[in-house]
Every structure is written in C-alpha cells, then in structure tokens.
C-alpha cells in the first residue's frame, strides 16, 4: 500500500487536464497534490524534493513527458521515483519507448478514477515488492 499523504506531482500543459487529474487523485484520497505545466518545471519541482509519485502527460512544450522521464531516471536522487504516464490511444507505439525509458505504468486518456487507482495500486505493489 501507499501513503495517501504523499506528495503527488501532476504534469500537464493544459490546466483543465491538471484539474481533472487532480480531482481524480483527490477522489482516490490523495490530499497533497502539486502541479507543473511542463517537464522542465516539473523536474525543477522534483529536484526540490519531497515528491512520492508523478502523473505526467506526454505532449508538452519545452520538455515533454518522455524527456522528463529520462531526466528523472538519469538523476541519482530521483531515479526510483514512480512515474505514471498519461497517453492518448493513438500513441500506443510510444508506450514502448516509455517502457524502455523506465516508466512505471501508463494510462490512456480518458480514464476514470477507478482505472487511475488501479494503475497506482499496481505501481506501488511492484515498487513495494521490489524494494
């Protein structure tokens, strides 16, 4: 299981999407949610520390989701940070790339709170089992 009080970062350039994802996370029970509008901003926030989990969109200006993922995995401090990638249905092929880059799981837009929870549960089951 995981601590619902952990700090979660929602990364998306479209503020409506951030709000939707934040709402879904709140439904699941998360209370400590921060947001970023692109990968660069997200990375800076993550570097400040304290985050336990990231939900990131793929298509973003400046640094996209994959770029963020790679940067996090290359970072000694952050490399274990669980990341859930949000993709559109047409981008399944990209999922492979994300898998290669070490994403923990992915979820296809649009998704429900239940599906999101399922994905998060899975991620942390694995993280807990592995660690």
Partner 1 sequence: MTDEMEEIINEFITEAEESLERIEPLFVELEQKGEDKELLNDIFRSMHTIKGAAGFLGFQPIVDVAHSSENIMKKLRDGELAASKPLMDVILESVDMLRALLDHLKEKDDIEEDVAPLVQKLTDALSAATTEDATLPSDNNDAVSPDESVDEVFDVLPEPSEESIEIVKPVQESSAAGIPEPAALEECAPVQTKKDSPPKVKEGAQNLRVEVSRIDKVMDLAGEVVLVRNRLLNISNYFEQQYNNDEQAEILAETVSFLDRVTSDMQLAVMRMRMQPIKKVLSKFPRLVRDMSASVNKDVDLVISGEGTEVDKTVIEHIGDPLTHILRNSIDHGLEPTEDRIAKGKPAKGRVEINIYQKGNQVVIEILDDGKGMDVEKLKQKAVEKGLITAEEAHKMTDETATDIIFMPGFSTKKQATELSGRGVGMDVVKTNVSLLNGYVEVSTRKDVGTTFKLCIPLTLAIIQTLMVEVSGTKYAIPLTPIEETLMVSKDDIDNVTGQNVIVIRDRVCPLFELTNLLGIDSNGNGNGNGDNDSEKKYIIVISMGDKRFCIAVDRLVGQEEVVIKTLSGLDSSNSHVLGATITGDGKVVFILDVSSISRKMIGIAKGQ
Is 16 a binding residue for partner 1 by CB under 8 A? The answer is yes
Query: Measured from the CB of residue 92, what is the shortest distance to partner 1 in angstroms?
Result: 6
- The H helix count followed by the E strand count for the chain is 5, 5
Q: What's the token pair of residue 45?
A: 């926030």
Scan residues 42-61 and list those touching partner 1 (CB under 8 A): 57, 59-61
Spatial CA neighbour of 13 closest among 51, 40, 31: 40
Contact 121, 129 (CB under 8 A): no
Q: What's the token pair of residue 4?
A: 């619902």
Q: Which is nearer to partner 1, 79 or 92 (CB)?
A: 92
Query: Measured from the CB of residue 59, what is the shortest distance to partner 1 in angstroms?
Result: 5
Is 72 a binding residue for partner 1 by CB under 8 A? The answer is no
- CA atoms of 104 and 55, how far apart (whole Å): 10
Count, residues near partner 1 per rule CB under 8 A: 40
Beta bridge partners of 85: 56, 106
Scan residues 93-122 and list those touching partner 1 (CB under 8 A): 93-97, 99-101, 104-106, 109-110, 122
β 51-57/33-36 pair status: unpaired
Residues interacting with partner 1, by CB under 8 A?
A: 13-17, 19-20, 23, 37-38, 40-41, 57, 59-64, 66-67, 86, 88, 90, 92-97, 99-101, 104-106, 109-110, 122, 126
């Amino acid at each position: 299981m995981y601590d619902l009080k952990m700090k979660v970062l929602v990364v998306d350039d479209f503020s409506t999407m951030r709000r939707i994802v934040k709402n879904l996370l709140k439904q699941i029970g998360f209370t400590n949610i921060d947001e970023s509008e692109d990968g660069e901003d997200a990375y800076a926030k993550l570097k400040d520390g304290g985050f336990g989990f990231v939900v990131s969109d793929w298509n973003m200006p400046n640094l996209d989701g994959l770029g963020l993922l790679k940067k996090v995995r290359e970072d000694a401090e952050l490399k274990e940070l669980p990341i859930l990638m949000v993709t559109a249905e047409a981008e399944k092929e990209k999922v492979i790339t994300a898998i290669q880059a070490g994403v923990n799981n992915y979820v296809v837009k649009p998704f429900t709170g239940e599906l999101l929870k399922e994905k998060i549960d899975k991620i942390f089951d694995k993280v807990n089992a592995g660690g």
